[in-house]
């Protein structure tokens, strides 16, 4: 059963996704002239980095030590690394397809397969983001929520803009965008309900979700969208770099104040 706060996160994140995608889907020409949300993306990158390295990964390692006290191997780090590499490989593949389609078809009408693959690529980390929120304690969940709404809005904007530039019909774009919009709320449901059964050997599931979340957050904070990643595109500007540092420092400070981010 989800808590009241988790249901609130569910609704607000869903609303942010549709709000972020509204402008491209409803006013495509105006959306093309917009630069998006650089400060919000920079801040969320800092939050994702701190969440990954100061909360999610240490917590996952702690749960694995509790379940396997004799295991002398950083299995949480390995799972996080695998998640990071899978997402990176997927984005490389999508990036090559996108570049090829632009060269072949021009910038206005790209093949429908490109936004479909982009959606599939974004849905996976969005789902794990929600699952990590659902399984976390209230303090960590609140920080994940802040990063989620900032990321969800900017990702929704970029994804919807790609859809309206493709050969997808309006109905197809709306259906595909809805899959993305519901991915994080669905993750919250799965994480929230799974948390009730995380005892004994079932704690392995919690440790794996946290490790996957750590790898996902590290990826979202660094290499997501490759050359257009906030750390690369926006944080070369002093104001955005300071926003990134603010997000990272705030999250790291909260982690220090509350002590252990997760109760095992």
pLDDT computed for residue 79 by the predictor: 92
pLDDT surpasses 90 at 186 = yes
Residue 106 belongs to domain spanning:
38-68+76-258
With a CB cutoff of 8 Å and minimum separation 6, the contacts of 91 are 121, 223, 224, 225, 226
What does the buried/exposed string (b/e) look like for 2-15 if buried means 16 or more CB atoms within 10 Å of the residue's CB? Answer: beeebeebbeebbe
Q: Is residue 26 part of a domain?
A: no
| Residue 211 to residue 58: CA distance in whole angstroms | 9
74 by Cβ neighbours in 10 Å (0-12 / 13-18 / 19+) ranks as middle
pLDDT surpasses 90 at 194 = no
pLDDT computed for residue 11 by the predictor: 92
pLDDT computed for residue 29 by the predictor: 61
> Comparing 231 with 64, which gets the higher pLDDT?
64
The share of the chain scoring above pLDDT 90, in percent, equals 9
pLDDT computed for residue 82 by the predictor: 92
241 by Cβ neighbours in 10 Å (0-12 / 13-18 / 19+) ranks as middle
Cβ pair 222, 81 in contact under 8 A: no
Q: Is residue 177 part of a domain?
A: yes
What's this model's pTM, rounded to 2 decimal places?
A: 0.67
pLDDT surpasses 60 at 230 = no
Mean pLDDT score, 216-222: 79
pLDDT computed for residue 231 by the predictor: 57
pLDDT computed for residue 107 by the predictor: 52
Confidence band for 199, pLDDT divided at 50, 70 and 90: low
Q: Is residue 264 part of a domain?
A: no
Going through 109-200 in order, the beta strands assigned E by DSSP cover none
Mean pLDDT score, 118-139: 82
Q: Which two tokens stand for residue 231?
A: 């750390």
Q: Is residue 16 part of a domain?
A: no
Q: Is residue 18 part of a domain?
A: no
For the chain, what is the domain count? 1
pLDDT computed for residue 191 by the predictor: 85
Q: Facing residues of 110 across strands? A: 166
With a CB cutoff of 8 Å and minimum separation 6, the contacts of 2 are 10, 134, 188, 189, 192, 193
pLDDT surpasses 70 at 159 = yes
Residue at token pair 């970029």: 158
Confidence band for 263, pLDDT divided at 50, 70 and 90: very low
Mean pLDDT score, 25-48: 66
Q: Is residue 134 part of a domain?
A: yes
């Amino acid at each position: 059963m989800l808590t009241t706060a988790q249901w609130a996160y569910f609704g607000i994140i869903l609303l942010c996704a549709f709000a972020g995608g509204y402008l491209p889907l409803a006013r495509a020409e105006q959306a093309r002239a917009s630069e998006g949300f650089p400060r919000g993306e920079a801040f969320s990158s800092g939050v994702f980095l701190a969440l990954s390295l100061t909360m999610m990964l240490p917590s996952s390692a702690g749960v694995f030590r509790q379940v396997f006290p004799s295991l002398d191997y950083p299995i949480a780090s390995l799972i996080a690394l695998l998640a990071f590499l899978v997402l990176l490989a997927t984005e490389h593949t999508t990036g090559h397809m996108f570049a090829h389609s632009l060269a072949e078809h021009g910038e206005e009408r790209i093949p429908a397969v490109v936004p479909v693959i982009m959606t599939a690529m974004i849905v996976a980390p969005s789902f794990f983001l929600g699952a990590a929120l659902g399984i976390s304690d209230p303090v960590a969940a609140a920080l994940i929520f802040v990063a989620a709404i900032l990321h969800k809005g900017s990702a929704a904007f970029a994804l919807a803009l790609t859809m309206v530039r493709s050969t997808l019909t309006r109905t197809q774009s709306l259906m595909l965008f809805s899959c993305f919009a519901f991915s994080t709320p669905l993750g919250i449901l799965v994480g929230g309900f799974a948390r009730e059964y995380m005892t004994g050997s079932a704690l392995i599931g919690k440790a794996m979700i946290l490790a996957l979340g750590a790898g996902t957050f590290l990826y979202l904070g660094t290499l997501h969208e490759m050359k257009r990643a906030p750390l690369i595109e926006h944080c070369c500007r002093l104001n955005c770099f300071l926003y990134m540092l603010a997000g990272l420092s705030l999250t790291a400070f909260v982690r220090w104040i509350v002590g252990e981010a997760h109760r095992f």
